[in-house]
Amino acid sequence: MLKITFLGAGSTVFARNVLGDVMCTPALCECEIALYDIDPVRLDESYRILSAMNATVNQGKASIRTYLGPENRKEALRGARFAVNAIQVGGYDPCTILDFEIPKKYGLRQTIADTLGIGGIMRALRTIPVMEDFARDMEEVCPDVLLLNYTNPMAMLTGYMLRYTGVKTVGLCHSVQVCTSTLLKELGMEDKLPGARDFIAGINHMAWLLRVTDREGNDLYPEIRRRAREMNARGGHPDMVRFDYIDKLGYYCTESSEHNAEYNCFYIKSKYPELIDRFQIPLDEYPRRCVNQIAGWKEMSGQLLSQSELGHSRSREYASRIMEAIVTDTPYRIGGNVLNTGHIIEDFPQQACVEVPCLVDGAGIHPTYVGSLPPVLAAMNMTNINCQLLTIEAARTRKREDILRAVMLEPHTAAELSIDDMAKMVDELLEAHGDFMKMYR
């Protein structure tokens, strides 16, 4: 029987989407689902909700079991064909709070802090050792598994797994799937969506919409650039950073403005506080989002757990599509995060983790050769890749000096702080994270 293991199954809403998709897919629905988490309450909630969904949409065809804690992880993984990773090491409290509050003491403000910036670096450093443990188990009990990684920071985690473990891994993000539709809707060009075609490549959360055409093959960028300039001239739009990218760099980027505001040295600057209002930058957005999600889940979980029947319609998530393509050997195209082996993108080192179009079939994941990017886009990506590679190196060596080097090359941090303050901030963060960072002390 096909076995699918979900790591971080306490992420109930996401597990519901991914595994609900599995239950709605004929080639996958008669499977064994292993739910793994370290939180017994959230694990039980996910089991009950998924069991109700299995009975409703899948006539109980899937077998669902739970596995609690590291001592049961090997059994959760044993014989798995696919594993989905959706963990968050340290959670909102204490780790996300620390990732925001300590840098703020040094004058360093953030919006999301899960991909780059000092927050993204810390998240990678506490997550990679856990994923390394996952990898050792996978290598032993399911050596042929394909790991579908949804956890951020995507490029750092996926890059580490592909470089330093034997686990076949692909990183998956929602931003590629919605990039073109989001842009055209924001600019009032919805009529161009039917039949539109695009080509997207770069790195996670900073991949570029390199080409976009309508159903007749007409280039949509001239009109996109005109409307984006007009939109930013009027002001007040939440996606103004990405519209500014279109104006200054020539191209639109996959991930949201609140994310991209902190991936560079342009928009969050202590000497230019007016930029925060001008570009509608939501500082401390992720902590607010976490608080709202926690409160929302308390209400939603009660409603879901009280229902004996739960429906589901297959979503746009890549996970079930990838599994289906491999199991049935039916080609499917995704935007995937893979190593830049063979210089898929010519401008980047082979150790970089890139986000490019990939074909999936019975033989696995096949990245598409991209070639060179426009020079300014490659340069923007490299400012992030430098930090990603140095963070991966720090996770490998476990040395504080390597952590500091990664922080020194992080664009926003380097633009705001002295090296001495960076070093003090790193020491304070490592100490405050306690056991989550004990391997670096």
**Whole-angstrom Cα distance, residue 375 to residue 393?**
26
Find tokens 């039980």 and name the residue: 44
**Whole-angstrom Cα distance, residue 291 to residue 373?**
39
Find out whether 265 and 412 touch, Cβ atoms under 8 Å.
yes
Residue 200 corresponds to which tokens in the numbers above?
A: 């997207």
Find out whether 268 and 253 touch, Cβ atoms under 8 Å.
no
**Whole-angstrom Cα distance, residue 333 to residue 318?**
9
Q: How far is CA 153 from CA 157, 172, 252, 308, in A?
A: 6, 11, 21, 36
Please calculate the CA angle 392-150-254 and round it to the nearest 5 degrees: 90
Among 329, 307, 270, residue whose Cα is nearest residue 49: 307
**Which residues are annotated as catalytic?**
174
Find tokens 């403005």 and name the residue: 257
Residue 165, phi-psi category: left (phi > 0), alpha (psi -120 to 50), beta (remainder): beta
| Greatest CA separation for the chain | 61
**Whole-angstrom Cα distance, residue 286 to residue 87?**
17
Q: Cis omega before residue 94 (within 30°)?
A: yes
| Other Cβ atoms within 10 Å of 85 Cβ, number | 23
**Whole-angstrom Cα distance, residue 407 to residue 108?**
12
Please calculate the CA angle 271-119-289 and round it to the nearest 5 degrees: 95
Among 97, 84, 64, 152, residue whose Cα is nearest residue 294: 97
